[in-house]
Amino acid sequence: MAAWARAVRGLLLDISGVLYDSGGDGGVPIAGSVEAVRRIKASGLKLRFCTNETQATREKFVKKLQGMGFDISVAEVTAPAPAACRILKERSLRPHLLVHNDLVPEFAEIDKTNPNCVVIGDAAENFTYANLNEAFRVLIGMEKPVLISLGRGRYYKETDGLKLDVGAYMKALEYACDVQAEVVGKPAKMFFESALAEMGVPPQQAIMIGDDIVNDVGGAQRCGMRALQVRTGKYSHE
Amino acid sequence: MAARRALKAVLVDLSGTLHIEDSAVPGAQEALKRLRSAPVTIRFVTNTTKECKRDLLERLTKLGFDIAENEIFTSLTAARNLLEQKQVRPLLLVDDKALPDFTGIATDDPNAVVVGLAPERFHYEMMNRAFQLILDGAPLIAIHKARYFKKKDGLALGPGPFVTGLEYATDTKAIVVGKPEKTFFLEALRGAGCAPEEAIMIGDDCRDDVGGAQNAGMRGILVRTGKYRPADEDKINPAPYLTCENFPEAVEHILERLL
């Protein structure tokens, strides 16, 4: 075994496209990945799931993965919504939410009256013209618009094909209001750093495994981690 | 300017130049009549994503302008010409009112995407369809890339943000067909049998009308009507060939000095 491999103490795993392919039917696990997670845990390596998933609360998302046979718990998951909530509280921001209905409970503790920023996530069917226009009007009405984006992915793979991700709509609002969004989630450095801190492993001793060359691999490598790209999920289309 | 060849074609913007909403610019109908007596080809050019030629013609005729449908060249016409030239079948994300301008264009099994202003079509499912086609190599054609426009109840998103989102997701660049693109002005001249140096553009938008035309090799006249604001003429370099009070004054200049 190579010298660098011996030093690895922790793994960060992307979920969608690595462990399973999502879809309207709930999705399907990628062959062998249930067993692989079990083997990682048995090996004594530290493990953290690092996802940009914003279509559901962590509770709901984890329950779905458990249903597929994965050994995973909510406490092992680093996701953008809780990270965004910390930022909103720190800066006394009251968000207008353009997110998936199933994600809204993650923001239950946050004051949303008289909004002074917009939080955009992978809203899927909620990405209608009317909803985007509402978010646009909140932003354009502010002296200095604040747009917080839960990830900046271009697209992801579902069982019935590739789907537009939050990044496309983040760009739409950026262009419309001439602002730059603050990204919470991969590939933001802070996001990887908080996942590493939760695992208690320095970047040099951690590896990120993902299917997204920019958000998983690029983001992790910029943090000083090594990264592996898998040829599942969106890989073949990049 | 003396070295220039004689003028052979005049391009005229519509909204803000010939009319402002439902009223004609005073004297504009008369001026157009005088211009018609000169040996020049006239084309009416406009950026529109919603109104088909027929609707534009109807409005202008009502205001007393003597105009024929085949003299009108819009960003929708430009999009149509591009589709024919590329021999592609578009997925049309345009308003229903714009569809007559695409009559006869095959749209089954699409291999191109055209984006205009179509709020009711910008839903997730349709955007995904457009995205998947572009990812498979379909060209993305934008009627224009306006960020937003003014509605009675406030600002509303234009086609630009949706085009930008699709560009980002697919890592491609849209082909923009309206003003101020060079190809728009050159296409508008097609059939007039003259070079850009032999044409002049009259409009109220310094960047899109005058700057665009001058960039295509034409001369440009800026009129101080419509959306014109003081000092607009300083927005482009080189400056407009001429800045006039209104369309009739521009026509006088052409008749007296450029023929």
Q: What is the pLDDT of residues A95-144, one digit of tens each?
A: 999 999 999 999 999 999 999 999 999 999 999 999 999 999 999 999 99
Whether B69 is in a domain gets the answer no
Whether B67 is in a domain gets the answer no
Chain A 87-126, residues with CB within 8 Å of chain B CB atoms: 124-126
- Which of B127, B149, B176 corresponds to the end of one domain? B176
Closest CA to B13 of B59, B36, B47: B47
For residues A179 and A111, membership in a common domain is answered with yes
Question: What pLDDT shows up at residue B151?
Answer: 78
Other beta carbons within 10 Å of A197: 12
* Upstream peptide bond of B180 is cis (omega within 30 degrees of 0): yes
| Cβ–Cβ pairs < 8 A, chains A and B | 89
* Numbered residues of chain B with Cβ closer than 8 Å to any chain A Cβ: 119-120, 122-125, 127-128, 131-132, 135, 147-148, 154-158, 160-162, 164-171
* Residue count of chain A: 238
- Which of B176, B209, B239 corresponds to the end of one domain? B176
For residues B42 and B92, membership in a common domain is answered with no
First to last CA, chain B: 12
For residues A157 and A232, membership in a common domain is answered with no
Q: Mean pLDDT across chain A, nearest whole number?
A: 94
For residues B146 and B226, membership in a common domain is answered with no
For residues A208 and A128, membership in a common domain is answered with no
For residues B110 and B183, membership in a common domain is answered with no
For residues B155 and B96, membership in a common domain is answered with yes
What are the angstrom distances between the C-alpha of B157 and each of A143, A177, B60, B98, B176? 18, 10, 27, 18, 17
3-state secondary structure chain B: CCCCCCCCEEEEECECCCEECCEECCCHHHHHHHHHCCCCEEEEEECCCCCCHHHHHHHHHHCCCCCCHHHEEEHHHHHHHHHHHHCCCEEEECCHHHHHHHCCCCCCCCCEEEECCCHHHCCHHHHHHHHHHHHCCCCEEECCCCCEEEECCEEEECHHHHHHHHHHHHCCCCEECCCCCHHHHHHHHCCCCCCHHHEEEEECCHHHHHHHHHHCCCEEEEECCCCCCCCHHHHCCCCCCEEECCHHHHHHHHHHHCC
- Which of B147, B176, B205 corresponds to the end of one domain? B176
Nearest by CB to B132, which of A126, A161, A168? A161
Whether B72 is in a domain gets the answer no
CA dihedral A21, A148, A130, B16 (to 10 degrees): -130
For residues A106 and A170, membership in a common domain is answered with yes
Q: What is the pLDDT along chain B (259 residues), one digit of tens a residue?
A: 445 678 999 999 999 999 998 899 999 999 999 999 999 999 999 998 888 999 999 999 999 999 999 999 999 999 999 999 999 999 999 999 999 999 999 999 999 999 999 999 999 999 999 999 999 999 999 998 888 887 778 889 999 999 999 999 999 999 999 999 999 999 999 889 999 999 999 999 999 999 999 999 999 999 999 989 999 999 999 999 999 999 999 999 999 999 9
Whether B116 is in a domain gets the answer yes
Write the CB contacts of A63 (distance below 8 Å, at least 6 apart in sequence): none
Closest-CA distance, A9 to chain B, in angstroms, reads 35
For residues B168 and B194, membership in a common domain is answered with no
Nearest by CB to A237, which of B124, B128, B135? B135
Instruction: Please indicate whether, in this complex, the C-beta atoms of B161 and A167 are within 8 angstroms of each other.
Output: no
- Where in the sequence is the domain holding B154, given as residue range(s)? 88-176
For residues A163 and A87, membership in a common domain is answered with yes
Say how far apart CA A165 and CA A55 lie, in whole Å: 11
For residues B160 and B215, membership in a common domain is answered with no
CATH number at residue A114: 3.40.50.1000
* Upstream peptide bond of A187 is cis (omega within 30 degrees of 0): yes
Total domains in chain B come to 2
The yes-or-no verdict on residue A238 having pLDDT over 60 is no
Tokens read off for A75: 């406490």
Instruction: Please indicate whether, in this complex, the C-beta atoms of B131 and A168 are within 8 angstroms of each other.
Output: yes
DSSP-based three-state secondary structure for A78: strand
Write the CB contacts of A169 (distance below 8 Å, at least 6 apart in sequence): A98, A120, A123, A127, A132, B165
Closest-CA distance, B198 to chain A, in angstroms, reads 37
Buried b / exposed e over B213-252, threshold 16 CB at 10 Å, is bbbbebbbbbbebbebeeebeeebeebbbbbbebbbbbbe
Q: Quote the strand ranges of A68-225, DSSP E.
A: 77-78, 95-98, 117-120, 147-150, 155-158, 161-164, 182-184, 206-210
The yes-or-no verdict on residue A5 having pLDDT over 70 is no
- In degrees, rounded to 5, the angle at the alpha carbon of residue A234 between the alpha carbons of residues A228 and A238 is 85
DSSP summary character for residue A30: P
Measure CA A59 to chain center: 15
Instruction: Please indicate whether, in this complex, the C-beta atoms of B132 and A171 are within 8 angstroms of each other.
Output: no
- Which of A159, A184, A209 corresponds to the end of one domain? A184
Closest-CA distance, A155 to chain B, in angstroms, reads 6
Total domains in chain A come to 2
Is B53 within 8 Å of B74 (Cβ atoms)? yes
* Residue count of chain B: 259
For residues B197 and B238, membership in a common domain is answered with yes
Other beta carbons within 10 Å of B100: 13
Instruction: Please indicate whether, in this complex, the C-beta atoms of B161 and A132 are within 8 angstroms of each other.
Output: yes
Question: What pLDDT shows up at residue B1?
Answer: 47
For residues A104 and A139, membership in a common domain is answered with yes
Closest alpha carbon within chain A to B133: A162
Nearest by CB to A172, which of B125, B155, B161? B161
Write the CB contacts of A211 (distance below 8 Å, at least 6 apart in sequence): A14, A17, A18, A229, A230, A231, A232, A233, A234, A235
Question: What pLDDT shows up at residue B21?
Answer: 85
* Upstream peptide bond of A115 is cis (omega within 30 degrees of 0): no
Closest-CA distance, B169 to chain A, in angstroms, reads 4
CATH number at residue B200: 3.40.50.1000
Place of tokens 């006394």: A92
Q: Is A110 exposed, middle or buried (0-12, 13-18, 19+ CB in 10 A)?
A: middle
Say how far apart CA B113 and CA B142 lie, in whole Å: 8
- Where in the sequence is the domain holding A37, given as residue range(s)? 3-79+187-237
Whether B66 is in a domain gets the answer no
Nearest by CB to A168, which of B123, B154, B166? B166
pLDDT tens, residue by residue, A68-91: 999 999 999 999 999 999 999 999
ipTM of this predicted structure: 0.88
For residues B166 and B108, membership in a common domain is answered with yes
